[in-house]
Structure 1
Amino acid sequence: MRLANKVILITGSGSGIGRSTALLFAREGATVIVNDLDEAKGIETLKDIHADGGKGHFIHADVTHAESVEQMVDQIIEQYGHIDVLFNNAGISGVGALHEVEPDAWERVIQVNIRGVYLPSKYVLPHMMKRKSGNIINMSSCVAEIGLARRASYSATKGAVLALTKSMQVDYAAYNIRVNALLPGTILTPFVENYLKTSYDNPATAIASIKKRQLSEELGLPEDVAQAALFLASDESKFMMGSPLYIDGGATFGKNA
Structure 2
Amino acid sequence: MSIMGHRLQHKTTLITGAGSGIGKCSAIAFAMQGATVIVNDLDEGKGEVTVEEIRAAGGSASLIVADVTDPSSVETMVEQAIERHGQIDVLFNNAGISGVGALHEVEPDAWDRVMRVNIRGVYLPSKYVLPSMMQRRSGVIINMSSCVAEIGLAKRASYSATKGAVLALTKSMQVDYASYGIRVNALLPGTILTPFVENYLKQSYDDPEAAIESLKKRQLSGEMGRPEDVAHAAVFLASEESKFMMGSPLYIDGGAVFGKDA
Give the TM-score, by structure 2 length: 0.98
1:43 is aligned to 2:48: yes
Amino acid at match of 2:143: N
Amino acid at match of 2:41: D
Structure 1 match to 2:195: 190
Structure 1 match to 2:73: 68
Structure 2 match to 1:106: 111
CA deviation after TM superposition for structure 1 residue 182, in Å? 0.1
Say what the alpha-carbon RMSD is for the aligned residues. Answer: 0.4
State the secondary structure of the residue aligned to 2:159: helix
Structure 1 match to 2:94: 89
Amino acid at match of 2:155: R
CA deviation after TM superposition for structure 1 residue 49, in Å? 0.4
Query: 2:24 pairs with 8, 19, 22, which one?
Result: 19
Amino acid at match of 1:154: Y
Matches within 5 A, 1:197-216: 197-216=202-221
Amino acid at match of 2:129: V
State the secondary structure of the residue aligned to 1:138: strand
Amino acid at match of 1:215: L
- How far apart, in 1, do the equivalents of 2:207 and 2:67 lie? 34
State the secondary structure of the residue aligned to 1:135: strand
CA deviation after TM superposition for structure 1 residue 255, in Å? 1.4
Query: 1:166 pairs with 171, 196, 200, which one?
Result: 171
- How far apart, in 2, do the equivalents of 1:207 and 1:142 lie? 18
- How far apart, in 1, do the equivalents of 2:84 and 2:149 lie? 37
CA deviation after TM superposition for structure 1 residue 6, in Å? 0.5
Note the residue ranges of structure 2 that are not aligned, 5 or more in a row.
1-5
State the secondary structure of the residue aligned to 2:245: coil
Query: 1:247 pairs with 228, 247, 252, which one?
Result: 252
State the secondary structure of the residue aligned to 2:219: coil
For residues 14-41 of structure 1, give each alpha carbon's deviation from its aligned partner in whole angstroms, at most 9, with x where no partner exists: 0000000000100100000000011100
- How far apart, in 2, do the equivalents of 1:135 and 1:121 lie? 10
- How far apart, in 1, do the equivalents of 2:135 and 2:44 lie? 31
Amino acid at match of 2:109: D
State the secondary structure of the residue aligned to 2:183: strand
State the secondary structure of the residue aligned to 1:59: strand
State the secondary structure of the residue aligned to 1:254: coil
Query: 1:238 pairs with 225, 240, 243, which one?
Result: 243
- How far apart, in 2, do the equivalents of 1:225 and 1:27 lie? 15
- How far apart, in 1, do the equivalents of 2:61 and 2:210 lie? 40
Query: 1:219 pairs with 202, 220, 224, which one?
Result: 224
- How far apart, in 1, do the equivalents of 2:69 and 2:109 lie? 15
- How far apart, in 2, do the equivalents of 1:152 and 1:140 lie? 14
1:80 is aligned to 2:85: yes
Structure 1 stretches of 4+ with a deviation exceeding 6 A read none
- How far apart, in 2, do the equivalents of 1:216 and 1:42 lie? 32
1:58 is aligned to 2:63: yes
Note the residue ranges of structure 1 that are not aligned, 5 or more in a row.
none
- How far apart, in 2, do the equivalents of 1:148 and 1:37 lie? 29
CA deviation after TM superposition for structure 1 residue 222, in Å? 0.1
CA deviation after TM superposition for structure 1 residue 112, in Å? 0.2
CA deviation after TM superposition for structure 1 residue 254, in Å? 1.0
- How far apart, in 2, do the equivalents of 1:207 and 1:75 lie? 41
Q: Number of matched residues? A: 257
